[in-house]
Amino acid sequence: MTVGGKAATQEKILAAAFELFVDLGYPRTTMQQIADAAGVSRATVFWHFGEKAALFRGVLERLMRPIRASLEVELPDMSLAKQLEERVELTTRFVEDHQREILALVKWAAEDADLQSHVRSEIVAVVSRFSKALSSTVARIEPDGRDGSLLGEAIELAFYGGLLISILDPSRNSVERRRLAVLELVRVVQQLATR
């Protein structure tokens, strides 16, 4: 099997596992179901991943890759105030585009004690990256002598609060209003910087 073939097979298995973990839940998904959905043998799934827990970690890594990448986007040709706004917009668009995956993470963190430590550590790492990006940008703006890291955390709390509420109230109007509320907070911070 070529390296490309191995990678393609792993990708098929991971995609199938993700869909089944979301639809059925991790505990109720079997390796045979994953193999059937991926169009490979059960032995192939075990050969690539060894065990169901390792397969889950692979699904989690695959799921987190675009989230990490979205947080690592460099914005060097913008003013700091514009960078702050763009950072929030990029993350907002990412959340909108990947809502199903994010809901799966929340579900897995809540439903299975064996998965919680893996999922929580991944979520905390991503939240930490977002927080650092916001806080460092706000701190460089130096808004009226205030602590930029605290203002960054305030924006982060508003953002994640809106995200959690959107799980309960996903209506387009409400989601848009919460997005605008976060951007209004960003604009207040920007105005503090121009005083």
CATH classification for the domain delimited by 3-50, as one of 1.20.1250.20, 3.40.50.300, 2.40.50.360, 1.10.10.60: 1.10.10.60
- 114 token code pair: 């064996």
The answer to whether residue 51 scores a pLDDT higher than 70 is yes
**In whole angstroms, what is the distance from residue 66 CA to residue 23 CA?**
21
Q: How far is CA 49 from the centre of its chain?
A: 23
Reported residue count of the chain is 195
Mean pLDDT for the chain overall: 83
Give mean pLDDT, residues 63-78.
Answer: 78
Give mean pLDDT, residues 115-137.
Answer: 80
CATH classification for the domain delimited by 57-194, as one of 1.10.357, 3.30.70, 1.10.8, 1.20.1070: 1.10.357
Highest mean pLDDT among 27-31, 87-91, 131-135, 163-167: 27-31
Contacts of residue 87, defined as CB under 8 A and 6 or more positions apart, other chains included, come to: 75, 133, 134, 137
